[in-house]
């Protein structure tokens, strides 16, 4: 029997890439992202059948066209990992950059919706599937200067709950993974390439790694058919909340 198929957005780095690597043991993969060269490199390193789709989740037509372009045998997607997401800026609300606001809402909320819309009808037809939305502790709490990013992740939390209700009668599992501080390219994107400032975010404590989150995703997906893990908050031991982190010299 052929392996099931998982589609992963934002697979070019961080949690998405780590998830692709860990799921490659048990799944055929459709890896998605904007940076085609990274997708090709990852495909060549994985020991499973891989399709690559290069598109920006913000672009509705590009999303639907890319997924529709898959061959029939790749249209039966068993698992969707909605991982693509970004934070832009860390400004007070009155000083916020509206382009940053658009980027966060378009990627984190609308992008998740577009990809889900493209894939869910076939899951509903088969009455089988699993959606994993990668949210954040920012979807459960609000922190100073996090305003629009936190709002976008609160929207993901609400959408996940709504999906779970709407898809319940179809036997489709819906899970939210809510990480705390994870050392990836996240902060470098938030600070617009300021690698020094980004590095400071992860100093004097031990953050999560992308592998930690990927292993949690793997665990969730491997539960028996009658078990659905609804929501997982995963934090580094040094973190108690969005604003409480035990920073010390290490």
Q: Where are the domains of the chain?
A: 5-234
pTM of the shown model? 0.95
Residues 6+ apart with CB under 8 A from 97: 88, 89, 91
Can you tell me the mean pLDDT for 217-232? 98
The answer to whether 249 and 204 are in contact (CB under 8 A) is yes
User: Phi and psi at residue 75, in whole multiples of 5°?
Assistant: -80, -15
Active site residue 149: yes
Given 3.30.360.10, 3.40.605.10, 3.30.70.250, 3.40.50.720, which CATH number is that of 5-234? 3.40.50.720
pLDDT of residue 197: 83
From the candidates 27, 114, 143, 149, which is the catalytic residue?
A: 149
Kindly indicate the confidence band of residue 184, based on its pLDDT and cuts at 50, 70 and 90: confident
Spatial separation of the C-alpha atoms in residues 85 and 35, rounded to whole Å: 14
Residue 101 has pLDDT above 60, yes or no: yes
Kindly indicate the confidence band of residue 201, based on its pLDDT and cuts at 50, 70 and 90: confident
pLDDT of residue 130: 98
Can you tell me the mean pLDDT for 78-96? 95
Kindly indicate the confidence band of residue 158, based on its pLDDT and cuts at 50, 70 and 90: very high
Percent of the chain with pLDDT over 70: 99
pLDDT of residue 196: 84
Residue 13 has pLDDT above 70, yes or no: yes
Spatial separation of the C-alpha atoms in residues 30 and 51, rounded to whole Å: 5
Residue 3 has pLDDT above 80, yes or no: yes
Percent of the chain with pLDDT over 90: 90
Decide which of 205 and 193 is more confident: 205
Q: Which of 133, 121, 118, 131 is nearest to 61 (CA)?
A: 118
pLDDT of residue 54: 97
Spatial separation of the C-alpha atoms in residues 122 and 128, rounded to whole Å: 9
pLDDT of residue 200: 85
Kindly indicate the confidence band of residue 163, based on its pLDDT and cuts at 50, 70 and 90: very high
Can you tell me the mean pLDDT for 225-232? 98
Instruction: Spell 53-70 as b/e; 16+ CB within 10 A means b.
Output: bbbebbbeebbeebbeeb
Neighbour tally for 205: CB within 10 Å: 16
């Amino acid at each position: 029997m052929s392996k099931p198929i998982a589609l992963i957005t934002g697979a070019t780095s961080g949690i998405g890439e780590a998830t692709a690597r860990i799921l490659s043991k048990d799944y055929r993969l459709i890896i998605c992202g904007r940076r085609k060269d990274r997708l090709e490199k990852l495909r060549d390193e994985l020991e499973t059948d891989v399709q690559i789709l290069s598109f920006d989740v913000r672009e509705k037509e590009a999303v639907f066209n890319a997924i529709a372009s898959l061959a029939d045998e790749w249209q039966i997607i068993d698992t969707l990992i909605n991982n693509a997401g970004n934070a832009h800026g860390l400004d007070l609300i009155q000083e916020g950059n509206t382009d940053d606001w658009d980027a966060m809402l378009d990627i984190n909320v609308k992008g998740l919706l577009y990809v889900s819309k493209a894939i869910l009808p076939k899951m509903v037809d088969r009455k089988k599937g699993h959606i994993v939305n990668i949210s954040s502790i920012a979807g459960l709490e609000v922190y100073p200067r996090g305003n629009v990013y936190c709002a976008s992740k609160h929207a993901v939390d609400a959408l996940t709950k709504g999906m779970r209700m709407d898809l319940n009668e179809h036997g489709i599992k819906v899970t939210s993974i809510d990480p705390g501080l994870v050392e990836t390219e996240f902060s470098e994107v938030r600070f617009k390439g300021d690698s020094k400032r980004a590095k400071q975010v992860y100093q004097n404590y031990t953050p999560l790694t992308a592998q930690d989150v990927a292993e949690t995703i793997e665990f969730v997906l491997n539960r028996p058919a009658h078990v659905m893990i609804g929501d997982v908050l995963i934090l580094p031991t040094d973190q108690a909340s969005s604003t409480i982190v035990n920073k010390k010299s290490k």
